[in-house]
Amino acid sequence: MRLVFSCICLLPPLLDALYRKDYKQLSKYGEEIIIIESEADRIKQDFRFNLPNTLLLPVDREDLLNLISDQDGLADLTEEIAKTLLFRDTEVPDPIKDLLDELLEGTMEISVAAKDMIERLDELLQVGFRGREQENVSKMIAGVRRSEHNIDGIMHRIKRQLFEHEQELDPITIMFWYHLIDLIGHISDQAENVADRLLLFLSK
């Protein structure tokens, strides 16, 4: 999860390079994201192949593997955003710049929360997924769900802004930005999936 988060942390400088139309720097950050995602994917595969079927676990084996996949999904989305921006030199439409900043800020906040929840797993294991630590993680899960709902609202507003200025942009640029906004928004959806998966551990 820490490696996944380091991948997500490259999104702000990636988009900052886009704002500045520094496509060389954008390419640099994009390639870094792709490399980190590949490493995260390797760790996921190693985990899957090397987790013995006979190992006694405090949680369901399938749930644990699915949690790893949910985390990897965050890196996959980040890589897809990077590749999308590498495919085509583009500019950020002025009408959506402020809302895009707001969307990115919310995305980073929910990603931090997802990382913090995963890092609480050690403590949760020690207390058998009960007690005060369970309550703390349950509150964090609820916070992630609220954040995801707030990001949905930002998504609606930013798409509305695009719609209102469609006549000022060419059709390909419009579709490009609808797609890119959806990709960024999916990170919060995936963070909520991580939270929901962790909730399964608490409820069993």
- At 98-146, the pLDDT tens digits run 999 999 999 999 999 999 988 887 777 766 666 777 788 888 889 999 9
Cα Rg of the chain (Å, integer):
19
Name residue 66's amino acid: N
pLDDT of 193: 93
The count of residues in the chain is 204
pLDDT at 55 > cutoff 60: no
Please give the C-alpha separations between residue 161 and each of 37, 103, 109, 177, in angstroms, as whole numbers. Answer: 32, 13, 23, 11
On the question of pLDDT at 188 being above 90, the answer is yes
Whole-number average pLDDT of the chain: 89
- Sign of the alpha-carbon dihedral angle for 72, 190, 143, 59: negative
Question: For 67-91, what is each residue's pLDDT tens digit?
Answer: 899 999 999 999 999 999 999 889 9
User: Exposure of 2 by Cβ count < 10 A (0-12 exposed, 13-18 middle, 19+ buried)?
Assistant: exposed
Q: Are 137 and 202 in contact (CB under 8 A)?
A: yes
| 90 contacts 173 by C-beta, under 8 angstroms | yes
> What pTM, to 2 d.p., does this model score?
0.90
Compute the distance between CA of residue 120 and CA of residue 140 in angstroms, rounded to an integer: 10
Q: How many Cα atoms within 13 Å fall on the side-chain side of residue 10?
A: 26
Classify residue 89 by its DSSP letter: -
Confirm or reject CATH 2.60.120.620 for domain 2-203, answering yes or no.
Answer: no
What is the average per-residue pLDDT within 185-193? Answer: 95
Which pair of tokens denotes residue 26?
């954008």
Q: What is the mean pLDDT of residues 30-45?
A: 95
Q: Domain map of the chain by residue range? A: 2-203
Dist CA 81 CA 85 (whole Å): 6
Mark out the alpha helices in the chain (DSSP H runs): 2-8, 11-19, 23-50, 61-87, 97-119, 121-126, 131-164, 171-203
Of 74 and 53, more confident: 74
**Measured between alpha carbons, how far apart are the two ends of the chain, in Å?**
23
Q: What is the pLDDT of residue 174?
A: 93
Least confident of 30-34, 58-62, 82-86, 180-184: 58-62
